[in-house]
A and B are shown apart, each in its own frame.
Chain A
Amino acid sequence: MQLVDVDIAKHTIELKVNGRPSNLVLDPRTSLLDALREHLHLTGTKKGCDHGQCGACTVLLNGRRINSCLTLAVMHEGDEIVTVEGLGSPQALHPLQAAFVERDGFQCGYCTSGQICSAVGMLAEVKAGWPSHVTADVASQQIELTAEEIRERMSGNICRCAAYPNIVAAIRDVAEGARR
């Protein structure tokens, strides 16, 4: 069968995003990112490179941060997806969202959703004791969340405006606030 000449079967799937199930009829080629942006109109999740090289498309999949550009929407029936819209609203900001505003952790704002979702996932990874490239002893289960650890763990999120020091400050504020 020469597939390029036929319309491929569309899949009807239920995608659960921010706690809300939606039924979508999708071309199986649709990335999770494009399903969110072009079908659910949840444009908070950004397309920066479409190849997992910038992190702007970061969402939480069953609580873990992933690049939504490098997975197919049809692979995620039944999964819990959380996007930046699901973390907070302008009237009720998530603590990380509030800290990003306070610390000026962005300029143009295009990488920001990805940075914030990534930070949420990253803090959970630290809490679970996961090691990173800068963890001196990978066998140690207690991770001290230093600025160096934050920078390494957030390195999958490029900010061309380079708000990096401010992003690290915002994440530290929230992490330290949570410890207090």
Chain B
Amino acid sequence: MIGQAISRVDGPFKVTGQATYAHEHWEAGQPLYGFILGATIGRGRITLIDASRAEHSPGVRKVMTYRNAPAQGAPDESIPSLYWRAQPVLTNPEIRHYGEPVALVVAGTFEQARAAASLIDIEYAVEPGNYDFATRQDQSYVPKVVNGRMEAETSVGDFDSGFNSAAVKVDQRYTTPYQFSHPMEPNACLAVPRGDDLILYVSAQIVDSARASVANTLRIDPERILVVTPYVGGGFGSKLGIHSETILAALAARQLNEPVKVVLTRQQIFHLMGLRPTTSQRVRLGAGKDGRLVAIAHEVNMYTSPHEEYAEQTAATTRALYAAPNRWTSHRLTPLDLPRGEDVRAPGEAPGLLAVESAMDELAYALAMDPIELRIRNEPKVHPETGIPFSDRRLVECMREGARRFGWDQRPAQPASLRKGRWLVGYGMAAAIRMHFQGPAKARVRMCPDGTAVVQSDMTDIGGGTYTILAQVAAERLGLPIDRVRVEIGRSDFPVSWGSGGSWGAANSSTAVYRACEALREKLLASARDKSEALSEIVARNHPEGLEAEGEIVSMEKDPNYRAYSLNTYGAHFAEVGVDVDTAEIRLRRMLGVFAAGRFLNPKTARSQLIGGMTFGVSYALHEQAVVDTRSGAFVNRDLAEYLVPVHADIPELDAVLLDGFDDKANVLGVKGIGELGVCGSAAAVTNAVFNATGVRVRDFPITLEKVLPGLPLMEA
């Protein structure tokens, strides 16, 4: 059962519209509707706020501003992850970034609340803000640690002398834009008061962080909050924590003692969600004529909110990727008066590998060497910084298998040498690597006398396939057909997990379910008549009320394997692009990824997740960027007509091949995560293909056509 490509068990509900997302629960009856009003300045303070017109507008039940919002808890920086901290809103007249909530209007209908929000009269004292990353980088500083509590700077050997002595050098700067996760389901919360308790139907990747963050903000016992999130319409990082929509819904529901629903508009998401920092990255590669690296440096500068630091671990991936005796990685942060940075799918790897894997392509070109051969020559035997062994490193195998399947030998050796009609055609590849994380998770499995089993955890399914893989694990270990296993997740009264995010969800929760099943088996087999007796028969005979057991996985800090080994997932991307020889329009023609990530619990859902990740990379290479107006601090292109993500027509033939395996250092099931792996390096493969097609190397992302156009040949007859 484990490892079979079965269709999603929740599929029939999703395709018929029966799966209920956060703002679609009606069991609490008719809610009130809350609408957030955002600040229209980037920095300053409110000098006047008059809600009387809004308060007298039809249907309005409450207008909450900093003048009447309840007191709230402050963020406690001793809590390691910002997603668990308090997130107070409407606490004072200060405006720290554009779009920051200045009021919540609650009314009987959505239409009434939205209209009344614009009747609030506000005056501001505007203060000059810093919004321009390009001109503020001299104000940067080195953070204590970066995301994942990794070191901000690392050094091995003597980079400078190694680089200076190298026969062939690449020294380039790459810039990447602000980006948002933009799951299709907007961030939303329906808050239902039950006496002093609260039920929160919320769109969340991690139930525990949602509950903790609300409890810390409202300063109430977490046990009095029930978080419910059976279906989540995508997250990609933006729902690792809750945001103002949930806090404001909860505050209003408690004040009015009625259910209140708050859903962000797509435009609001651009200022009320965390964003991936813009970066400027310098990559230096020094190699011998044989292609062997003698020095590698990756220096990253990115923006941070001055109020809540976020440092994407952009250079961290470079630490484990290629061998070189002299190495340096560093991160610096440039404070800007913008919304805070947060994790967006493949934090660190997405921008970091885009830079480094572009640079490797530049080095291969400088050496006139095949890009795969260059990478193979720099394949490390042990972790190049720490010297510890890798577990299950299969990068070379991914590249070779991909090259064979893709027809890499057909790659034009010279850039701008292959024409197909009006298209300049090029091939590009890039390597993928991502550190595998493990976090604490628990699950409960109950066998019932009717021969069914129930799996319970506060784990979420954001599209990764949790319902299906947990059912597969339980069905296999309990000897049941899969339709006899019911998976119940996404509730805070179930055993706590680390949720979905960081590619850890599947490995954590499937291991916890596996162990719960093993514990249950042990209990049951003790009273078996003989070895052949089915578990369901034992339950029916000895446990008429059913029997349950819990299973658990510990954090990576407590697992010695994660100190003794470097655990990563691997892949290789191959892209073929066409660039219109007249207009420089860039279109993906086909793409293939080959991935090794231990054992694949379900190849069907795993492949889907990987092709989805690859598509994010295509988007990062060619489309996505949030543009800040450096005069106001506002994200200007704030809708899905202007912030472009790929549509069907942008994604032709695209496939992912899974190299199945088993990483015995990772966990008992040999499973590692794949949620981000597809993103890692895929943008670089597309970028390198654009270079191969045109001879134009673009280092300022995304690669929009005006960056390629000047390098195209003159119009011909």
B655 touches A160 (CB 8 A): no
- Is A162's beta carbon under 8 Å from chain B? yes
- Is B184's beta carbon under 8 Å from chain A? yes
A48 touches B186 (CB 8 A): yes
Q: Footprint of B on A, CB under 8 Å?
A: 4-8, 27, 29-30, 34, 37-38, 41-51, 53-54, 56, 83-85, 87-90, 93, 97-98, 100-102, 104, 106-113, 116, 134, 147-148, 150-152, 154-168
A107 touches B648 (CB 8 A): no
A5 touches B56 (CB 8 A): yes
For the complex of A and B, the 3 pairs showing the least CB-CB separation, nearest first, are: A44-B17, A110-B233, A107-B463
A101 touches B15 (CB 8 A): yes
B604 touches A104 (CB 8 A): yes
A155 touches B57 (CB 8 A): no
- Is B128's beta carbon under 8 Å from chain A? no
Instruction: With A44-B18, A101-B7 as known contacts, state yes or no: A7 contacts B648, CB within 8 Å.
Output: no
Instruction: With A45-B17, A46-B233, A150-B648 as known contacts, state yes or no: A160 contacts B59, CB within 8 Å.
Output: no
**Secondary structure call for the B interface:** loop
Which of B15, B109, B465, B641 is A97 in contact with, Cβ under 8 Å?
A: B15
Mark interface residues in B329-363 (1 if CB within 8 Å of A CB, else 0).
00000000000000000000000000000000000
Instruction: With A97-B16, A101-B12 as known contacts, state yes or no: A27 contacts B649, CB within 8 Å.
Output: no
A5 touches B236 (CB 8 A): no
Q: How far is B233's CA from A108's CA once the two chains are assembled, in angstroms?
A: 5
Instruction: With A5-B56, A29-B111, A53-B639 as known contacts, state yes or no: A107 contacts B236, CB within 8 Å.
Output: no
A85 touches B16 (CB 8 A): yes
Closest to A111 in B: B184
Enumerate B605-664 residues with CB–CB distance to A below 8 Å: 605, 607-609, 611-612, 614-616, 639-641, 645-649, 651-655
B16 touches A90 (CB 8 A): yes
Instruction: With A27-B112, A34-B110, A85-B17 as known contacts, state yes or no: A158 contacts B649, CB within 8 Å.
Output: no
CB-defined A-B contacts under 8 Å, sample of 25: A4-B53, A5-B57, A34-B111, A46-B185, A53-B639, A53-B641, A54-B184, A85-B16, A98-B15, A100-B11, A104-B7, A107-B234, A107-B464, A107-B605, A109-B19, A109-B463, A110-B184, A110-B234, A113-B17, A151-B648, A151-B651, A154-B648, A162-B611, A162-B612, A164-B646
Q: Nearest chain B CB to A82's CB is how many angstroms away?
A: 12
B653 touches A160 (CB 8 A): no
Q: Nearest chain A CB to B78's CB is how many angstroms away?
A: 34
Contact residues in B for A100 (Cβ distance below 8 Å): 11, 15
Q: Of residues A48, A49, A162, A168, which shows the largest number of chain B Cβ atoms within 10 Å of its Cβ?
A: A162
B648 touches A168 (CB 8 A): yes
Q: How far is B26's CA from A38's CA once the two chains are assembled, in angstroms?
A: 9
Closest to B609 in A: A107
Contact residues in A for B639 (Cβ distance below 8 Å): 49, 51, 53
Q: How far is B24's CA from A42's CA once the two chains are assembled, in angstroms?
A: 9
- Is B13's beta carbon under 8 Å from chain A? yes
Which of A47, A93, A147, A157 is B15 in contact with, Cβ under 8 Å?
A: A93
B183 touches A110 (CB 8 A): yes
Instruction: With A46-B184, A46-B185, A160-B234 as known contacts, state yes or no: A90 contacts B18, CB within 8 Å.
Output: yes
Q: How far is B638's CA from A49's CA once the two chains are assembled, in angstroms?
A: 11
A152 touches B266 (CB 8 A): no
Q: How far is B186's CA from A51's CA once the two chains are assembled, in angstroms?
A: 13
Closest to A156 in B: B647
Closest to A106 in B: B14
Known: A4-B53, A5-B56, A108-B185. 9 other contacts (CB 8 A): A51-B641, A106-B463, A108-B234, A109-B15, A160-B182, A162-B612, A162-B651, A163-B612, A164-B611
Contact residues in A for B15 (Cβ distance below 8 Å): 84, 88, 93, 97-98, 100-101, 106, 109, 112-113, 116
Contact residues in B for A41 (Cβ distance below 8 Å): 26
A160 touches B183 (CB 8 A): yes
